[in-house]
Amino acid sequence: MDKIKNNKIFQWLHERYNLEPILEFVEHKQVPMHKHSIWYYTGGITLFLFIIQVCTGILLLFYYQPGVDSSYESVRFLMTKVNFGWLIRSIHSWSANLMVFFAFIHMFSVFFSEAFKKPRELTWVSGFLMLLLAMGFGFSGYLLPWNELAFFATKVGTDIVGDVPVVGELIKQLLRGGPDVTGSTIYRFYAIHVSILPLIFLVVLGLHLLFIQRQGMHEPEFYESLPPEEKHSIPFFPNFFLRDLLFWLLILDVLLFLAVFFPWELGIKADLFSSAPAGIRPEWYFMFMFQSLKMIPAKVLGIEGEILGIVFFGILGLLWLTVPFWETVIAGKKRPWLMKVIGLLAIIYMIALTIIGYLV
Amino acid sequence: MSVKRRKFLDYILSLGFTGLVGSIIYPALSYLKPPKQAEAAVNSVKAGKVNEIPVNSGKIVRFGRKPVILIRTSTDEFIAFTATCTHLGCIVQYREDKQQIWCACHNGLFDLKGRNISGPPPRPLDPFLVQIIDDEIIIAKPKRMS
């Protein structure tokens, strides 16, 4: 820290902008160390993967040309002719999946350590919103190479949106840019993927990080009740920060291994007038919902099964978003085990239906 | 920790870090370099029928990726030059009133032999060969381009 303070550039800036508060903050921020500290890193890893998404996404923009006659061709050109083009695209695809994966892990770790409780309600809300946005990124980005699988997945996906009561049809038309998935849909998904979602995401991410900096790391109950002399913590900077970097390096290695040895395929170009091939599937993180919708009977008590499924997931999503606000009412101190059961059931449900979806 | 060991670790770490940064920057930069696109070499193009171009007029013709200006002079001669102005690369045009080649960007003028006669252009326009075969105008690259 003294090294930084003696730095000429730092002094130049400090003279003009008074960096004392920032320095004070950095010097005093502590991270509690206990048996569950490992979970603190999952958020940072998700952030790192998001940064990779931004960097590789910008690089892809240099060659990608949206359009029925150019989307597929430009991605193929990128993968076959451009130096390292295959690698950049493969990293973008793999990193997207890993990002959603780590976002899920981060979310459940926060859920089970009950870090969402007061005063961190809004950190939870902003975090879950980011997961939904990440899924939106995945859904919109999936179509952009305009291959057969993506085309039909988008057809099915937007069709499901169309079943949402009252506003569904309107949203479907807005997403598709017409009654069907066509070239107009590519332009819309492109705009959503590279400008609308990133803008919203950055705002929510900024808030999320701001909340965390203001409140500091959450301390689990068992740690909080320890006598002060048994509480062990490390400075955020540089100790925790360097450990963070080490994890990022490990993730980068895993990412590169996947991208190089399992390069993302381009598939066959989408044809508006060909029949759907067998094995049309959404991305894995949509699978449990997709499979649930498939398993609901066509009519339940006179209501269309699809609509029932969508309303069901809508309500579940809303409940999950507002967990910190109703947890105190039904669980709280009286039934501390209840939230663990709910979380476990959610995980079992998601994993089971995902597996069924891939097997059937 | 002795200073020597700390220095050694600093050195190893910065070496590793530099290597990491390099291995990210190098692919990114070489990715941004546009790949060479194979294009068929063009040696001649058809520019249309003789009667499609009136006397004392000019027209821009695509020659591969480059524009060429084809002129039918008032003396009913066909001539052609590269249409890229030698000053800053604008596309020139034929001025019927002056019977000269004019660049609108910076008021450069060339005569009908392609020589730069007024304004900023530093060099003459490169000439092309024009042949009429069966009423068809054919523009070709000269054997030796200056």
For residues B68 and B6, membership in a common domain is answered with no
Q: What pLDDT shows up at residue B144?
A: 60
Give the CATH number, domain containing residue A186.
Answer: 1.20.810.10
Does any domain span residue B133?
A: yes
Q: What pLDDT shows up at residue A2?
A: 78
For residues B136 and B86, membership in a common domain is answered with yes
Does any domain span residue A115?
A: yes
First-to-final CA distance of chain A: 58
CA distance B46 to chain A (A): 29
Q: How many domains does chain A have?
A: 1
Q: How many domains does chain B have?
A: 2
B31/A59 CB distance under 8 A: yes
Does any domain span residue A335?
A: yes
Does any domain span residue B145?
A: no
For residues B14 and B82, membership in a common domain is answered with no
A88/B33 CB distance under 8 A: no
Does any domain span residue A18?
A: no
For residues B62 and B23, membership in a common domain is answered with no
CB contacts of A59 in chain B (<8 Å) are 28, 31-32
Bridge partners, A269 (sequence order): A147
For residues B121 and B96, membership in a common domain is answered with yes
Q: What pLDDT shows up at residue A306?
A: 87
Does any domain span residue B94?
A: yes
For residues B28 and B50, membership in a common domain is answered with no
Q: What is the pLDDT of residues B68-104, one digit of tens each?
A: 999 999 999 999 999 999 999 999 999 999 999 999 9
B30/A83 CB distance under 8 A: yes
Does any domain span residue A36?
A: no
Shortest CA distance from B38: residue in chain A: A81
For residues B61 and B125, membership in a common domain is answered with yes
Does any domain span residue B59?
A: yes
Does any domain span residue A270?
A: no
Q: In which domain, by residue range, is A328 found?
A: 42-222+238-265+279-359
Q: What pLDDT shows up at residue B1?
A: 57
Q: What is the pLDDT of residues B5-61, one digit of tens each?
A: 999 999 999 999 999 999 999 999 999 999 887 767 788 999 999 999 999 999 999
CB B121 within 8 A of CB B85: yes
What is the residue-level pLDDT of chain A in tens, covering all 360 positions?
777 888 999 999 999 999 999 888 888 899 999 999 999 999 999 999 999 999 999 999 999 999 999 999 999 999 999 999 999 999 999 999 999 999 999 999 999 999 999 999 999 999 999 999 999 999 999 999 999 989 999 999 999 999 888 999 999 999 999 999 999 999 999 999 999 999 999 999 999 999 999 999 999 988 988 998 999 999 998 899 999 999 999 999 999 999 999 999 999 999 988 888 887 888 999 999 999 998 998 888 888 888 899 999 999 999 999 999 999 898 878 888 999 999 999 999 999 999 999 998
Q: Does position B146 have pLDDT exceeding 70, yes or no? A: no
CA nearest to B83, candidates B101, B105, B108: B101
For residues B26 and B83, membership in a common domain is answered with no
| Interface test with chain B among A3, A48, A62, A82, by most B beta carbons within 10 Å | A82
Q: Does position B145 have pLDDT exceeding 60, yes or no? A: no
Q: What pLDDT shows up at residue A272?
A: 86
Q: In which domain, by residue range, is B22 found?
A: 1-35
CB contacts of A73 in chain B (<8 Å) are none
ipTM of the complex: 0.83
Q: Does position B143 have pLDDT exceeding 70, yes or no? A: yes
Does any domain span residue A303?
A: yes
Does any domain span residue A25?
A: no
Does any domain span residue A37?
A: no
Give the CATH number, domain containing residue B78.
Answer: 2.102.10.10
Among the partner residues A59, A81, A249, nearest to B35 by beta-carbon distance? A81
Q: How far apart are CA B64 and CA B61, in angstroms?
A: 9
A84/B27 CB distance under 8 A: yes
